[in-house]
Amino acid sequence: MMLRIVEFDDLTRQQRADAARVLADAFADRPGSFDGKFKEEVDTFFVDDDRDAIAALEDDVLVGWVGCIETYDHAWELHPLAVDPSVQRGGIGTALVRALEARLRAEGVLTLYLGTDDEFGGTNLYGVDLFPDVAGKIATLAETSGHPFAFYQKLGYEVVGLIPDANGFGKPDIMMAKRLGGV
């Protein structure tokens, strides 16, 4: 199978529909994600000037995609990242993040950052009161049962913060960032 990375603007109507389905399937175990509005989320990447996205195609079938949002002049947010569950753990997520990094690096973006929620107990900080000394808790963060923060760590992202109770008590968002370019 041949994996190709393409711009969202080059997607066919079918591939664009698949992007919404892949998003829904990838987050199916996390109810409430995107308020269930997967097609609307995909659409924002076609209409919003501060949003961009790229997709991974396997034999012309969309199997994953990653978006980015220009939130600061020099630091952009990676959001969202979704790989079709039937082909996860096959390197597609890595290929997408690397391709996004290369594009943003070429544009002079210095930092790529993201939030990866623990609303399901994938880390040791799930269910924990993070106040006081939130920064101290960061040093103790560890994966317990497969959390995407381990995926991002392998790609060179480091934890830069925690948003306590972002998804309800004890369900934090884990903020991660990576330097892309020279300073």
Ligand X SMILES: CC(C)(COP(=O)(O)OP(=O)(O)OC[C@H]1O[C@@H](n2cnc3c(N)ncnc32)[C@H](O)[C@@H]1OP(=O)(O)O)[C@@H](O)C(=O)NCCC(=O)NCCS
Question: What does the binding site for ligand X look like in residue numbers (CB under 6 A)?
Answer: 26-27, 81-83, 88-94, 116, 146-148, 150-151, 154
Nearer to ligand X, 129 or 160 (CB): 160
Nearer to ligand X, 22 or 104 (CB): 22
Nearer to ligand X, 1 or 183 (CB): 1
3-state secondary structure the chain: CCEEEEEHHHCCHHHHHHHHHHHHHHCCCCCCHHHHCHHHHHHHHHHCCCEEEEEEEECCEEEEEEEEECCCCCEEEEEEEEECHHHCCCCHHHHHHHHHHHHHHHCCCCEEEEEEECCCCCECCCCCCCCCCHHHHHCCCCECCCCHHHHHHHCCCEEEEEECCECECCCCEEEEEEECCCC
We find the least distance from the C-beta atom of residue 183 to ligand X, in angstroms, to be 26
With CB atoms as reference, the residue minimizing the distance to ligand X is 93
Nearer to ligand X, 79 or 108 (CB): 79
We find the least distance from the C-beta atom of residue 5 to ligand X, in angstroms, to be 13
We find the least distance from the C-beta atom of residue 10 to ligand X, in angstroms, to be 21
